Amino acid sequence: MKLLLDIFEKSKPLFTKGGKLEKLYPLYEAKDTFLFTPGDITTKGAHVRDQADMKRMMISVVVALIPCILFGMYNAGHQHLLVNGQGYFPFIMKLHPCLASLVQGVFIVLPVIIVSYAVGGIWEVIFSIIRKHEINEGFLVTGMLFALVLPPTIPLWQVAVGVSFGVVIGKEIFGGTGMNFLNPALTARAFLFFSYAGDMTGNKIWTSVIKEDVQVVGYTVIEKSKVLLSGFSGETPLLIASEVKETGTIEGSKIALMEALSGAPFEASAIGGNFSFWNMFVGNMGGSIGETSALACLLGAIFLLIVGVASFRIMAGMIIGVIVASWAGCFIACFFMEGQVKPFFLLPSYYHLVMGGFAFGCVFMATDPVSAAATNTGKWIYGLMIGVIVYIVRILNPAYPEGVMLAILFCNMLSPYIDHFVVKANIKRRLSRGS
């Protein structure tokens, strides 16, 4: 460590004003603050004396993502092996199936993460050099979040295009980290979603495949052509649930729904069908790399809450929002529509928490402190709105099976508006107290 420090200290005059590589100062500064806590002090104005500056805050999100990354790798490999029966390295399979899944997954997922980081990092460096701002660890978070919400089968050039859009249009043109109004990772994801729908839509199951004659994907039989397209983002249980036909009675619809989800008779689903609650909670299903496991997200959430980076108000608001909305939907379906309604309405509310990208979006996407609402009341409203919109899009909107990404983006857009009203109301309240 001492040696490293010495080398850095020696190279410092090169980068400071008047040095040969003066233009590349952001690079030097970035490396300095990434690895050490520099001794610089603020030269003017008031400042906060705290170890945890923005860089440390951002890196703690990456730490919280570790369970999701690891499980995502394992799961990507696992699903791949389920489909193909063999991986790139058959000899590892003999050692231990779990290890084989993990190794397979690393080879599927790592390129995505590397491309996302490399391209995002290049843009960040270009902008910081030209615009002379610090290189921020924000891009580490953006790059990782973006990689984790992609299907593992995504072509790497799309990763590059998406992350370029997210970093440049979503963040840098507003002046870099902390200035943007939309979550850059979600902006990138939405950009890919609308531009290359064939590779990104949630309608088809993804699983990384090598062979063409595969017919059975682990849990559900799909046609060959769909496997070859292999574009999917984690909503298959949602799609299955939304396509269940009504049976006329409420009880019948409910049973049909549960059967469709678990792929087994209703009574047996307690011991674990394919999309049983616990299976989806653990994340043993196809989906985007990091979002399948609610359990991994929960671990990340606990870490983020303890560190104090994410707001519990937003998470709680989102969960309450979707649960209350699904109760309301169920109530309306049961009492006003007499069972003549899509069985999807009758899905137990807690299922919504583990399906699709809800857990991931709730923990990592919606809580982004830059794009979320800033006031405390605003955070509750913001979270509740996301929850309700997620439910609306999932149940009522036939265009998309999953709505977490778009619901969060929509509320990102509205969050300054929400804040404005909260602040206004607060001013009014205080004024009335004074008079």
Interface ranges with another protein (CB under 8 A):
131, 133, 169-170, 173-176, 179, 181-182, 187, 190-191, 194, 389, 392-393, 396-400, 403, 406-407, 409-410, 412-414, 416-417, 419-420
What whole-number distance in Å separates Cα of residue 291 and Cα of residue 286?
Answer: 10
Task: Compare residues 187 and 311 and give the one whose CB is closer to another protein.
Answer: 187
Quickly tell me which residue has 């004074």 as its tokens.
434
Three-state DSSP class for residue 213 = coil
Supply the minimum distance, in Å, between the C-beta of residue 181 and another protein.
Answer: 5
Task: Compare residues 138 and 283 and give the one whose CB is closer to another protein.
Answer: 138
Task: Compare residues 161 and 307 and give the one whose CB is closer to another protein.
Answer: 161
DSSP assignment of 144-160: HHHHHTS-TT--HHHHH
Lookup: tokens for 59: 């890196």
Task: Compare residues 190 and 310 and give the one whose CB is closer to another protein.
Answer: 190
Supply the minimum distance, in Å, between the C-beta of residue 332 and another protein.
Answer: 13
Supply the minimum distance, in Å, between the C-beta of residue 427 and another protein.
Answer: 13
Task: Compare residues 176 and 290 and give the one whose CB is closer to another protein.
Answer: 176
Task: Compare residues 68 and 325 and give the one whose CB is closer to another protein.
Answer: 325
Supply the minimum distance, in Å, between the C-beta of residue 378 and another protein.
Answer: 11
What whole-number distance in Å separates Cα of residue 96 and Cα of residue 104?
Answer: 12
Task: Compare residues 89 and 400 and give the one whose CB is closer to another protein.
Answer: 400
Supply the minimum distance, in Å, between the C-beta of residue 404 and another protein.
Answer: 10
DSSP single-letter state for residue 181: S
Supply the minimum distance, in Å, between the C-beta of residue 300 and another protein.
Answer: 25
Distance of CA 150 to the CA centre of its chain: 9
Supply the minimum distance, in Å, between the C-beta of residue 182 and another protein.
Answer: 6
What whole-number distance in Å separates Cα of residue 392 and Cα of residue 397?
Answer: 7
Phi-psi region of 230 (alpha: psi -120 to 50; beta: other; left: phi over 0): left
What whole-number distance in Å separates Cα of residue 96 and Cα of residue 58?
Answer: 36
Task: Compare residues 279 and 412 and give the one whose CB is closer to another protein.
Answer: 412
Lookup: tokens for 26: 């952001």
For the chain, how many residues are written?
435
Supply the minimum distance, in Å, between the C-beta of residue 394 and another protein.
Answer: 12
Q: What are phi and psi of 19, to 5 degrees?
A: -75, 170
Distance of CA 247 to the CA centre of its chain: 35
The crossing angle, in degrees rounded to 10, of helices 97-131 and 138-148 is 140
Quickly tell me which residue has 């003066």 as its tokens.
22
Helices (H) and strands (E) in the chain, counts: 19, 2
